[in-house]
A = this chain, B = another copy of it.
């Protein structure tokens, strides 16, 4: 995700409005490496802006996703998580507490897709999910 200031300009250039709710959500997400769920974001925003609604969180996350400013993670079977770091990286998730850690190792040079896949699919990227248990839960 871009900085809040840059993001503001991006939204304006798309004819979108800068509301206090959105600003608070951006603030919470900026440099956030905790891979929050919508509820996580809601709770944090609510602390500094109690009038916010769940609906707005969902809609704003959707907007950010469409703008390519956050990535939706499909790694926790229970709920979606959001990642403001849109650079290619991978994750470990604790199957107990669902804590997600970033892995910035670039494996792309080691990952060669077999030909039959490229014949049937136009592959745009990949994501490695490591599964296990974190120290606390273990």
What is the interface of chain A, defined by CB distance below 8 A to chain B? 72, 74-77, 80, 92, 94, 101, 103, 105, 107, 110-114, 117, 119-135, 138
Q: Which of B76, B110, B129 contacts A110 (CB 8 A)?
A: B110
Q: Is the CB of A123 within 8 A of B117?
A: no
Q: Using Cβ atoms and an 8 Å threshold, which residues of chain B touch A105?
A: 112-114
> What copy number does this chain have within its complex?
2
Is there an interface contact between B103 and A117, defined as CB atoms closer than 8 Å? yes
Partner of A130, one of B94, B125, B131: B125
In the complex, what distance in Å separates the CA atom of A123 from the CA atom of B101?
Answer: 12
24 pairs, CB–CB < 8 Å, chain A vs chain B: A74-B74, A74-B76, A74-B77, A74-B129, A77-B80, A92-B117, A92-B121, A94-B121, A103-B114, A103-B117, A111-B128, A113-B130, A119-B135, A120-B134, A121-B134, A122-B138, A123-B130, A125-B131, A126-B128, A126-B130, A126-B131, A127-B128, A128-B129, A129-B129
